Amino acid sequence: MTSSSLSNHEIEVSDVEFLRHGGKPLLARVSRPRGDGPYPLMIALHGGAWCRKDRTANTHTEVPLAKSGVVVVSPDFRMPPDAGYPASLVDINYAIRWFKANAAKFNSRPDLVGIIGFSSGGHQAMLAAMRPADPRYAAIALPEPAAVDATVRCAVLCWPVIDPLGRYQHAQKLKAEGNSRLFESVGPDHISYWGDEAAMAEGNPTRALERGESVQMPPVLYLQGTNDSAHPRPHLERFVEAYRKAGGLVELHWFEGMGQTFIPLHPDSPQAKAAIEKIIEFVHREIR
């Protein structure tokens, strides 16, 4: 099944309020195919070092995915300075449950939900998928009781910060060696979001696996460029090894010559088109 054979759906795009903190609403950008469905539904989490960007950041990926016959929901969530970890995971967990409870309104079903994330959103996607019942993340009840939880059928990780503590320490090391570019780019955001290194270790998919935590392990699609210096390759390798060792399935694809964020930065490149193809194939294979 290829994206060219699936990309024939007209789509509708709208913003939906799914949660409110005080007087501040959280919106989700919903891109959905026209038709009866039921369609797979993917929760899409933007990147931005946990502190930047919003629900509109990844249209280059979300629109083709929606046109293939997938409801794509990109929620906003709390970020610094409003709140750090774990507030974003609370909002993401709630978004998964809210859209499951309301899936019929979006021509989907609660058993057809997966998750995709980009950079820091890839970290949040994997952590949310691994810990759907964590009482800290599931702290907000739905307004009406519903027989849904925050489990997902699959997870797509696009150049994720899969080891936040490792990335922070890597940036510190480079700075000590005279190369401060990465630390200046992401170091302050690490501290704003996490607060300290202990939190970076706790809310960490790779280290949770290495600690032997009991977690959910949906199938994973992992995409990364070979020239991505912001997401160190050893961190990827540790995660993939630990996930597979624990019995999880990881489909890993490298994209030659690409750095971080290569789909939105180079949307017309063969690598970006191939990556979107992989995402579409994976979602339709895992959720049906």
User: What residues have CB less than 8 Å from 191, skipping those under 6 apart?
Assistant: none
156-212: pLDDT as tens digits: 999 999 999 999 999 999 999 999 999 999 999 999 999 999 999 999 999 999 999
| Domain at 89, CATH number | 3.40.50.1820
- Which of 162, 143, 279, 172 is closest to 221 using CA atoms? 279
Instruction: Report DSSP state, residue 167.
Output: H
287: its two tokens: 């959720």
Tokens describing residue 80 = 């610094």
> Measured in whole angstroms, how far is the alpha carbon of residue 25 from the centre of its chain?
21
User: What is residue 145's predicted lDDT score, i.e. its pLDDT?
Assistant: 87
Give the pTM: 0.96
Cβ atoms of residues 113 and 99 within 8 Å: yes
In the chain, the DSSP E strands lie at 11-21, 24-33, 39-45, 71-75, 108-118, 155-158, 220-225, 250-255
Whole-number average pLDDT of the chain: 96
pLDDT at 4 over 50: no
Residue 25 pLDDT more than 80? yes
Which domain, by its residues, includes 67? 3-286
The domain total for the chain is 1
Question: In the prediction, which pLDDT does 8 show?
Answer: 87
Would you say 43 and 75 are in contact if contact means Cβ atoms under 8 Å apart? yes
Q: Average of pLDDT values for 127-143?
A: 98
Measured distance CA(131)–CA(209) in Å, rounded: 11
Predicted confidence (pLDDT) per residue in 244-283, tens digit:
999 999 999 999 999 999 999 999 999 999 999 999 999 9
Percent of all residues in the chain with a pLDDT value above 90, rounded to a whole number: 96
Radius of gyration of the chain (CA): 18
pLDDT more than 70, % of the chain: 98
Q: What is the pLDDT of residue 221?
A: 98
Distance separating alpha carbons of residues 252 and 249, to the nearest angstrom? 10
